[in-house]
């Protein structure tokens, strides 16, 4: 194989890039800032999509599709929203090319200029609330519980595969409700869906909390998020759920008649996760040998590698492998049998470790004699030889074990890398020496938040939902504080 | 309910538009030429997607994702391709907005002009072949069998929901092969997948054939298509599969080393179907009361409408409806129980007819007494009262019947509207009086094809694959012809 992957402990960023590349997850496109999601990477994203989509449907949502183009004037209708998104958008100004008169290929046809420029959606609140205006007349039309899977574009100068790209894939839920309470409940319900997905499927523990005023979504009343800790001690925002209040309803004049016939503005939410989750998944679990995938999101849960020296052995091993495959598939397990003779077993072992396949079975002539098979698990690298008779039961429970173990490892890592800081010195020492999440008191002002960010690059990741009030003093200003918040340097 | 839907026989176009609107399938967006696919419409598209995606995977394909942006220069690399697509594309020229100095909202920031304009993909051959250049070195890297589900934009001035919109959703398969034969086989394999999907799922018979030189995809060597007949006697191209030869490999310099180490250009195919299939599905089967859906693509296969006069009856009927629902779900049937008390049964009957739900069960107090339920099928409007004991078995076979019957009806319609024309007079008479498919001789020249189109608006839909050679004379020029082709006016 090619050069070794940089060690995670020595060059985290290089390690990440190499894993994304070598495990065939994604690559940069010639168009600046855009990415190509390769088949293996996309098959992981598909597992995420399918799981989330099911969870959205189970909570009463339907999918729909809204146009990719946002008229420029729409962006301006909500004051905070335009501030947040106008600075980084792709603008369509023309609708035709033509052959140049000087024979230098095609040029933009100046005659085909749009009257109003179109923005490629950075998010769809404006287009969707403009539509909801026509869908909503009475309380009977509410709630509207809609989601869309789509591509969005936010022009970015400094990009990283999956974590920050100009174009990315995501889902955006947009709901409309008759009451504030219902909309607030929806906001938190979807936050819970995201947290459950992160923990139960991605095996990635998250903190649920709300964003500060300066970090919230442009146009939202409250933004909630799930925050995860990566293996370099930096935080990653893995999903957000926004309570929009009546802001977009007012901007787009969306009212409904209540049971008494009184007209009221509609209450809204929006919530989204994106291909950024792929970055989180990679960084949360992988090691120096490559990707480590939780079985629930692994496109291949088990790979069988045959071992043989001659055609006779090959054919015997293949016959047995076919039987094992069949048994595992019947048990609902995704199996790949890699019997390519263009590559040696050792190469294949390394390849599937790189790709994070949770379980590898190696089957050779000795195994056939003994009625056994060698089982290797990706997370701990442990190997054992088991009886072929028990292979299905064994692997079923092994996959559960691996899922649990990966979560536990990430949970323990986070526990070990979550610190309490009670003053500025403690705070800066922890940041520089250890990183991770820091629970600290903050005086609640944007000014202090900004100064801390300026001096340390640490931001308030969230005001956690599940912690108790506690009297204290702000680590920066010394002013009183009623609650600890979570600080970290972040992606 | 509102005004009646225009009759199909009197105002086909108005009828189509009203069905799309009233069945909650889609609507026009404020951005010219774009559409909003509403939740019910999208749920039908999702069924199509899931089925096609499974069929693609069963034939060895994987999904991936490529950027939405095509650098302007890429389009020009294949001569025919740029001719075909440059005239109708959305062009991104800037990447930022800013507040205007005169306070009139946001304007395009002239400082943020792109060095090279980006086209929103009208199709992705150029971006993908540019990528394949890096993926392919040797015969061992082939074949590449990739598909993507994506949105594309082709600027259109005259649009119609689903049938022709500026932005639409589609899938595009892009494969790369070591030999001409393999690529040609792939082209036809995917054509067969499309034909199977159209016939077995959409219940829509199609003719498989190849396009003439003037109708083929810009950049293809051969374009194959499936053509369906709508209820107004016009044809609709429902899917295309292109043999690209080495055209894109040459344009993007994609070569592979064969087993002897000799460098050769790669052979390619591409194939796609789009949300246009929704238009085909609607037009193929629907009637004056609304949509008629084949059960295999119906988001709701069975709706249960309760009938009651008081709360006591309501509760008894609901209990029984729950039992029926449960039984049907266990049998793998998608059921909706509509027990809203905001609408009367008659309103619900009309609503689910409009939405094309294949089977409706009506359940009232009399049924409880008699142990029966009223079953109405959407396709024939027949009703019958059956014993509750046999409800699952009955409905299972009824759904199969409906699927078959809808196909047969469309097949018979097509048979009755496929004519043979042996001279110009016959040809024009059939076109004007009856429409439909016309099998006629053509001399094989683009000149004749153009003239026929100019004089009659009829085009050659395809040169069918499954017909025999037959000597004859071109209906227009009288010159000799070896085979009949299919003419029709088309969408």
Mean pLDDT of A169-182: 98
Residues of chain B contacting A45 with CB distance shorter than 8 Å: 65
Q: Is A200 exposed, middle or buried (0-12, 13-18, 19+ CB in 10 A)?
A: middle
Q: In the A/B pair of chains, how many CB contacts fall below 8 A?
A: 187
So what's the pLDDT on residue B156? 82
Q: How many other CB atoms are there within 10 angstroms of residue A115's CB atom?
A: 6
So what's the pLDDT on residue B274? 98
Residues of chain B contacting A29 with CB distance shorter than 8 Å: 66-67, 127, 131
A167:B71 CB<8 A: no
Candidate CATH numbers 1.10.1240.10, 3.30.70.270, 3.40.1110.10, 3.40.50.800; the one for domain B295-413: 3.40.50.800
Angle at B35 between CA B32 and CA B38, to 5 degrees: 150
Mutate to test the interface with A, among B37, B49, B91 (most CBs of A within 10 A): B91
Smallest CA–CA separation between B115 and chain A, in Å? 11
List the single residue in A with minimal CA-CA distance to B141.
Answer: A342
Smallest CA–CA separation between A128 and chain B, in Å? 9
What topology does CATH give the domain B418-488?
A: Translation Initiation Factor IF3 (3.30.110)
Task: Check: CB of residue B218 under 8 Å from CB of residue B81.
Answer: yes
For A390-411, the DSSP string reads: GHHHHHHHHHHHHHHHHHHHHH
Q: Which two tokens stand for residue A313?
A: 């052995």
DSSP reduced 3-state for A116:
strand
So what's the pLDDT on residue B467? 84
Q: Which two tokens stand for residue B219?
A: 């950049």
Is pLDDT at A2 greater than 70 in this prediction? Answer: no
**In sequence order, which residues have a C-beta less than 8 Å from that of residue A38 and are 6 or more positions away?**
A24, A25, A26, A27, B64
A92:B92 CB<8 A: yes
Q: Is A183 exposed, middle or buried (0-12, 13-18, 19+ CB in 10 A)?
A: buried
**What is the four-CA torsion angle of B290, A127, B155, B8, rounded to 10 degrees?**
10
SS3 for B391-453, per residue?
A: HHHHHHHHHHHHHHHHHHHHHHHHHHCEEECCCHHHHHHHHHHCCCEEEEECCCCHHHHHHHH
Q: How many other CB atoms are there within 10 angstroms of residue A87's CB atom?
A: 17
CATH code linked to domain A300-405: 3.40.50.800
- Give the C-alpha separation, A161 to A387, whole Å: 42
DSSP reduced 3-state for A254:
coil
Smallest CA–CA separation between A44 and chain B, in Å? 11
Listed by start position, the domains of chain A span: 12-68+121-285, 300-405, 418-488
A39:B62 CB<8 A: yes
> Looking up tokens 């792709």, which residue turns up?
A90
Is the pTM for the entire model greater than 0.90?
Answer: yes
Nearest residue to B481 (alpha-carbon basis) of B467, B465, B464, B469: B469
CATH code linked to domain A12-68+121-285: 3.30.930.10
Nearest residue to A96 (alpha-carbon basis) of B360, B93, B303: B93
Mean pLDDT of A250-259: 97
List the single residue in A with minimal CA-CA distance to B146.
Answer: A39
- Give the C-alpha separation, A247 to B165, whole Å: 31
Residues of chain A contacting B39 with CB distance shorter than 8 Å: 62-64, 146
Task: Please check whether the domain covering B12-285 is classified as CATH 1.10.3720.10.
Answer: no
B66:A29 CB<8 A: yes
So what's the pLDDT on residue B2? 61
Smallest CA–CA separation between A456 and chain B, in Å? 29
Element holding B27 (H helix, E strand) = strand B26-28
DSSP reduced 3-state for A412:
helix
> Looking up tokens 């008081």, which residue turns up?
B310
Nearest residue to B227 (alpha-carbon basis) of B303, B169, B280, B290: B280
Predicted complex: ipTM over 0.90: yes
For B254-274, the DSSP string reads: -EEE-TTS-EEEPEEEEEEEE
A69:B167 CB<8 A: yes
- Give the C-alpha separation, A172 to A152, whole Å: 10
Nearest to A95 among B40, B76, B90 (CB): B90
A105:B39 CB<8 A: no
So what's the pLDDT on residue A337? 97
The DSSP secondary-structure symbol of A225 reads E
- A401-451 pLDDT, tens digit per residue, is 999 999 999 999 999 999 999 999 999 999 999 999 999 999 999 999 999
The answer to which of A88-92, A98-102, A309-313, A346-350 has the lowest mean pLDDT is A98-102
The DSSP secondary-structure symbol of B316 reads H
> Looking up tokens 């176009």, which residue turns up?
B13
Smallest CA–CA separation between A149 and chain B, in Å? 10
- Give the C-alpha separation, B48 to B163, whole Å: 16
Nearest residue to B203 (alpha-carbon basis) of B401, B434, B436: B401
Task: Check: CB of residue A442 under 8 Å from CB of residue A472.
Answer: no
Per-residue pLDDT of chain B (491 residues; tens, 9 = 90+): 467 899 999 999 999 999 999 999 999 998 989 999 999 999 999 999 999 999 999 999 999 999 999 999 998 888 888 888 888 899 999 999 998 888 778 899 999 999 999 999 999 999 999 999 999 999 999 999 999 999 999 998 788 999 999 999 999 999 999 999 999 999 999 999 999 999 999 999 999 999 999 999 999 999 999 999 999 999 999 999 999 999 999 999 999 999 999 999 999 999 999 999 999 999 999 999 999 999 999 999 999 999 999 999 999 999 999 999 999 999 999 999 999 988 999 999 999 999 999 999 999 999 999 999 999 999 999 999 999 999 999 999 999 999 999 999 999 999 999 999 999 999 999 999 999 999 999 999 999 999 999 999 999 999 999 888 999 999 999 999 999 999 999 99
Smallest CA–CA separation between A264 and chain B, in Å? 21
């Amino acid at each position: 194989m090619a050069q070794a992957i940089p060690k995670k402990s020595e060059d985290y960023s290089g390690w990440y890039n190499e894993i994304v590349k070598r495990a065939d997850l994604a690559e940069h496109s010639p168009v600046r800032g855009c990415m190509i999601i390769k088949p293996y990477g996309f098959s992981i994203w598909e597992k995420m999509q399918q799981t989330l989509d099911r969870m959205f449907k189970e909570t009463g949502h339907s999918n729909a599709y809204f146009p990719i183009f946002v008229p420029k004037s729409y962006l301006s209708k909500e004051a905070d929203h335009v501030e947040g998104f106008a600075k980084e958008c792709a603008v369509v100004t023309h609708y035709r090319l033509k052959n140049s008169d000087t024979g230098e290929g095609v040029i933009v046809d100046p005659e085909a200029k749009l009257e109003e420029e179109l923005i490629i959606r950075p998010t769809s609140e404006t287009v969707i609330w403009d539509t909801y205006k026509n869908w909503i007349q009475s309380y009977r039309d509410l709630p509207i519980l809609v989601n869309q899977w789509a591509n969005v574009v936010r022009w970015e100068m400094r990009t990283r595969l999956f974590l920050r790209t100009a174009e990315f894939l995501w889902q955006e839920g947009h709901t409309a409700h008759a009451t504030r309470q219902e909309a607030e409940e929806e906001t938190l319900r979807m936050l819970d869906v995201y947290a459950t997905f992160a923990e139960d499927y991605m095996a990635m523990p998250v903190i649920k909390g709300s964003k500060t005023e300066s970090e919230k979504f442009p146009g939202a009343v409250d933004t909630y998020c799930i925050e995860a800790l990566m293996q370099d001690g930096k935080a990653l925002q893995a999903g957000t759920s926004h309570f929009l209040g009546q802001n977009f309803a007012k901007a787009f004049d969306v009212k409904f008649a209540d049971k008494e016939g009184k007209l009221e503005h509609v209450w809204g939410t929006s919530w989204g996760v994106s291909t950024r989750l792929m970055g989180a998944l990679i960084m949360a679990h992988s090691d120096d040998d490559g990707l480590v995938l939780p079985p629930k999101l692994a496109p291949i849960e088990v790979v069988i590698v045959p071992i043989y020296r001659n055609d006779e052995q090959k054919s015997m091993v293949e016959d047995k492998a076919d039987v094992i495959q069949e048994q595992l598939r019947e048990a609902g397990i995704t199996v790949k049998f890699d019997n390519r003779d263009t590559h040696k077993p050792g190469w294949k072992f390394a390849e599937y470790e790189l790709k994070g396949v949770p379980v590898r079975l190696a089957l050779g002539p000795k195994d056939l004699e003994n009625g056994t098979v060698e089982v290797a698990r990706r997370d701990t690298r442990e190997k054992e030889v088991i009886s072929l008779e028990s292979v299905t039961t064994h692997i079923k429970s092994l996959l559960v074990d691996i899922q649990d173990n990966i979560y536990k490892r990430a949970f323990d890592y986070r526990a070990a890398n979550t610190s309490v800081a009670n003053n500025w010195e403690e705070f800066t020492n922890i940041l520089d020496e250890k990183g991770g999440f820091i629970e600290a008191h903050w005086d609640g002002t944007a000014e202090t938040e900004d100064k801390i960010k300026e001096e340390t690059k640490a931001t308030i990741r969230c005001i956690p939902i599940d912690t108790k009030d506690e009297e204290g003093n702000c680590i920066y200003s010394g002013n009183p504080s009623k609650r600890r918040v979570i600080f970290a340097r972040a992606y």
